[in-house]
Structure 1
Amino acid sequence: MSLPSWLTEDYIQKAFQEFHKDDQLRVQKVCAKPATGKGENFVGVMTRIYVDFQHGDGTKQKQSYILKQAVSSDAPQAKIFAEYDVYNRELDMYDIVLPKMSKILQEAAFNDKLMAEAIVVDRERTVMILEDLAPLRYTNADRVKQLDMAHTKLVLDMMAKFHAAAIILNQREPDLLSRNYSSHFFSRGKKGYGQVFVGLFKAFIRYVKTKPNLKNRYANKLDNIVTNLMEYAAKSVDVGEKDLQTLVHGDCWTTNVMYLYDDEGNPTTVLPIDFQFSTWTSPAVDLHYFFSTSLKSDVKAEELELVQYHYYALKSTLEALSYKGSFPSLVEYQLQFEKRRFLSLIIANVFQPIMVYQGNEDCDFINFYRETAEAIKFQDSMYENEEIQTRIDTILPILDAKGFLEAH
């Protein structure tokens, strides 16, 4: 695989010299191959680069790294990602915010990795070179099989530390997280993701209308929601004075967390990746997103207990960090979670079918929302998955009974 023309051995050598604080370090060889397959990452281009280098003391190393770049400027989704400033946000996360959060956690002896180390953060080219987690034996769980309870609770523990560290960071540096963390998938005043979600939601309604039992009960209500879809979702991300507020990951699902396993194959540690959509809002937003995209059905059925689990993990982490601010009761926290349940209507019914997709149609980003024959063929094929159909049968009556299919 050819590297970008600017990514020369000299570029990498200078970067490595600075990172390792070794002016005598010499890069001897660089090669690369794609780091993700088709349909695994739509926001950026991931390349695994292999670097042979020698330190000033003569020690030789051969290491792999992950090069993260923005999608090509002529990609259909490029304008959307530029509108939401996802790349600069992630550069800030790796360069500034995550290192500060890691240090906060280390103060209380929470020493698990919170991030892959950033070797290079190049704002001019909007690229990063990150530590490759694969040699450290981190790996993704199966996005199609989804997560069992052990995997799920590890993520909730990790989220609790992430959320707690951000709360403390915001107390110490209140201006830092107010700069570039207000926009999200459903931001008012932005149009790009509105087009995407409305297109996907129309595909979902099209599926519902193929099932008489669903069509008769829900089709008209869903048709009425489309006009206000993004506003209802935006309300779900809004926070009030009484809401617990923190920095959320924003896109926490199976492929954006990586696990370590013991010799028996049991997960022992988890680490988050991909922070393009980190947002200052309620931690319940992360919970809805994670629950609606990543859990096995029997684990999802324990949702309220999982909210409780995260609540106590977050509370205990904040106590360990000597947090002195207000904190909701469990009742209040459950209500803050419930208030945002509309998110599950969108995420479970239009995002999850993409995330577990195994079909043969073209799953390019542009086919998520266009109304061409090719795009519609892909969209309709998402709902051929029997597990997705079962989940729709389960979730629609719940949302309807709770009033989330009504104008609100």
Structure 2
Amino acid sequence: MSLHVASEMQWLHSVLPQILRSGRLLDNYEETQLSSFKVLSIDVEPIGIDEAYMMTLCYRASIRFEYAGQLALKKMIVKKSPVLPPDMYNKLQFDVMFYNEISFYTEILPMIQQLAQGNFAAPKYYHSERQAQAALIVLEDFGTAGWRITEDRYGLSLEHAVIAVKYLGKFHGFGYAIKQQQPQRFALLCSKLKESRFNRSELPAAWQLKHEAIHKRMLQSVFKHQPQLDKKFIEHFYVLTSDYLSYGRQRVAPREPLATLCHGDYLRNNVAYKYNELGEPLDIMMFDYQTMRLCSPMVDLCVFLSLSILADVRYAHFDALFDAYGDALFASYKQHAQQSLPAYLNRETLLKEYVRHLPYAITIASFFLAEMVEPRKEALEELVSDMTDQQIIEQAMTKGGELVDQEVAHQLKELYELCQKHHVHIADDIDMSTWADKALNDYCYLIK
């Protein structure tokens, strides 16, 4: 999707007075000074897919203006839905995703900031719009405050991982504290969130074809790189995760008492770090709340460790990472709920929950890790329209190369070991009756 700079500049000129009147642009805004507001210049810089995997159009805007006789500069990020045919726009759930993100910034984040006394790191919200087949949101450019996305697209260091899981535990602690202190308001906010990934009857045809190919590749990878794993376990995993939508829908469904507010897509692309002068990570914040949902907190933790951390860090330091997350969650809850931990918030319960959700994260990693290792160069419109079925299958089976194959296979090894150690059945609470027979037949055919 090409950026029409002149059109975006014109649109920003028209919307800035509205942002000013909302009180979000300047803390000292007064209605009597509105006429003094003059936009002096606007510079627009596209954010390319080489910087991060994105399905939206994003750009940075530097806005110089005058207000009450004072000069000012604001830098913003504008995120817009892509221009797509209506059926594809709806199938890819863009309206739902922007609805969730807007809901987070306008309703959920203010509650968290109140609880955290303004100390929860998140981009400042300026403006949003939702129309038929189009949506946008305007946020502060957090890069001006020293935040930046990691140069590594995957395989983050142990130092990055520890900071990330601690922040995530703190965030989940906020959710549990709000749930305990204001249960009715918590329930109301969560009821407004919409499922943005699995709330559909079918995947777009190209995505379904890709999923089937990647599922086959995952099977081939584990037989090649982890041949010692129990074959019945591999068969069980294959059958369980074969129906991407049905399995995913059930696995992310909220189950009490552990359901809380979750980011839904917590990975390198959606977090930014601050660094010291030596380049060491000091702090982290997350953004892109389009997949916000009420679900198990282990959805977020599993996805981060599966997609952003490789086995050399994750496997070697799993206990330390899990404990760092848990300690941060427990401390956050006790501080903000002002009471001791409930019985269900303990390490063993969370660990079993992690293992139950790990197959979900592995399926996500098998789908998206290749995009991190070998980023696409096409715009979304080109990606969904120009590839033949054979090209889709070939790319799904090879993209990211041996690194992806080895990593996904190792994740299955980790899953197997955790299941054995903690006596967890990965199909707990999952009804496979609508797809198990077909998936088992497919599995038997593939291993002949």
TM-score class normalised by the smaller sequence: 0.7 to 0.9
Structure 2 length normalisation: TM-score? 0.78
CA distance in 1, matches of 2:357, 2:42: 48
**Is 1:261–1:267's contact at 8 Å kept on the other side of the alignment?**
yes
Where in structure 2 are the equivalents of 1:331-370 lying within 5 Å?
331-358=348-375, 362=378, 364=380, 367=383
Are positions 1:310 and 2:325 aligned together?
yes
Partner of 1:236: 251
Partner of 2:295: 281
SS where residue 309 of structure 1 aligns? Answer: helix
Q: How many residues align?
A: 399
SS where residue 294 of structure 2 aligns? Answer: strand
Partner of 1:120: 127
SS where residue 65 of structure 1 aligns? Answer: strand
Change (3 A) 1:367 1:75: farther
SS where residue 22 of structure 2 aligns? Answer: helix
SS where residue 339 of structure 1 aligns? Answer: helix
Where in structure 2 are the equivalents of 1:19-58 lying within 5 Å?
19=23, 20=26, 21-22=29-30, 23=34, 24-37=36-49, 40-56=52-68, 58=69
CA drift at 1:345: 2.8
Partner of 2:166: 157
CA distance in 2, matches of 1:48, 1:400: 44
Are positions 1:111 and 2:125 aligned together?
no
CA drift at 1:227: 4.8
Change (3 A) 1:164 1:195: farther
CA distance in 2, matches of 1:234, 1:190: 11
**Is 1:361–1:378's contact at 8 Å kept on the other side of the alignment?**
no
SS where residue 121 of structure 1 aligns? Answer: strand
Q: Which piece of structure 1 moves more, 373-382 or 397-406?
A: 397-406
Counterpart pick for 2:313 among 299, 316, 323:
299
Partner of 1:379: 396
CA distance in 2, matches of 1:292, 1:9: 42
CA distance in 1, matches of 2:266, 2:44: 28
CA drift at 1:397: 3.9
Question: Which structure carries more relative contact order (alpha carbon 8 Å, separation 6+)?
Answer: 2
What is the identity, as a one-letter code, of the residue corresponding to 1:298?
A: D
Change (3 A) 1:364 1:120: closer
Q: Which piece of structure 1 moves more, 398-407 or 12-21?
A: 398-407
CA drift at 1:310: 1.0
Are positions 1:95 and 2:95 aligned together?
no
Partner of 2:440: none
Change (3 A) 1:169 1:292: same
CA distance in 1, matches of 2:370, 2:261: 27
User: 1:249-279: CA deviations, max 9, x gaps?
Assistant: 1111111100111111111111101000011
CA distance in 2, matches of 1:180, 1:156: 27
Change (3 A) 1:320 1:12: same
Higher helix share: 2
Partner of 1:183: 195
User: 1:223-270: CA deviations, max 9, x gaps?
Assistant: 6456534333333223433x4221111111111100111111111111
CA distance in 2, matches of 1:65, 1:405: 45
Are positions 1:60 and 2:75 aligned together?
no
Structure 1 length normalisation: TM-score? 0.85
What is the identity, as a one-letter code, of the residue corresponding to 1:328?
A: L
CA drift at 1:90: 0.6
Are positions 1:168 and 2:177 aligned together?
yes
**Is 1:9–1:29's contact at 8 Å kept on the other side of the alignment?**
no
Are positions 1:131 and 2:148 aligned together?
no
Partner of 1:390: 406
What is the identity, as a one-letter code, of the residue corresponding to 1:351?
A: F
CA drift at 1:147: 1.2
What is the identity, as a one-letter code, of the residue corresponding to 1:138?
A: W
CA distance in 2, matches of 1:221, 1:161: 34
Cα RMSD after superposing both structures: 3.4
Partner of 2:271: 257
CA distance in 2, matches of 1:320, 1:375: 50
Change (3 A) 1:92 1:378: same
What is the identity, as a one-letter code, of the residue corresponding to 1:297?
A: A
Partner of 1:271: 285
CA drift at 1:180: 2.6
CA drift at 1:361: 6.9
Change (3 A) 1:306 1:203: same
CA distance in 2, matches of 1:8, 1:238: 39
Q: Which piece of structure 1 moves more, 66-75 or 263-272?
A: 66-75
Partner of 2:439: none
**Is 1:260–1:268's contact at 8 Å kept on the other side of the alignment?**
yes
**Is 1:256–1:273's contact at 8 Å kept on the other side of the alignment?**
yes
CA distance in 1, matches of 2:427, 2:404: 19
**Is 1:244–1:283's contact at 8 Å kept on the other side of the alignment?**
yes
Partner of 2:422: none
CA drift at 1:83: 7.0
**Is 1:233–1:342's contact at 8 Å kept on the other side of the alignment?**
no
**Is 1:368–1:375's contact at 8 Å kept on the other side of the alignment?**
no
CA drift at 1:294: 0.3
CA drift at 1:33: 2.0
Q: Which piece of structure 1 moves more, 74-83 or 281-290?
A: 74-83
Unaligned runs of 5+ in 1: none
User: 1:79-130: CA deviations, max 9, x gaps?
Assistant: 2333771111111111221122122112xxx7252x1101213345632211
CA distance in 1, matches of 2:381, 2:313: 29
CA distance in 1, matches of 2:226, 2:86: 36
CA drift at 1:284: 0.6
CA distance in 2, matches of 1:334, 1:76: 41
CA distance in 2, matches of 1:304, 1:193: 39
SS where residue 179 of structure 1 aligns? Answer: helix
CA drift at 1:208: 4.4
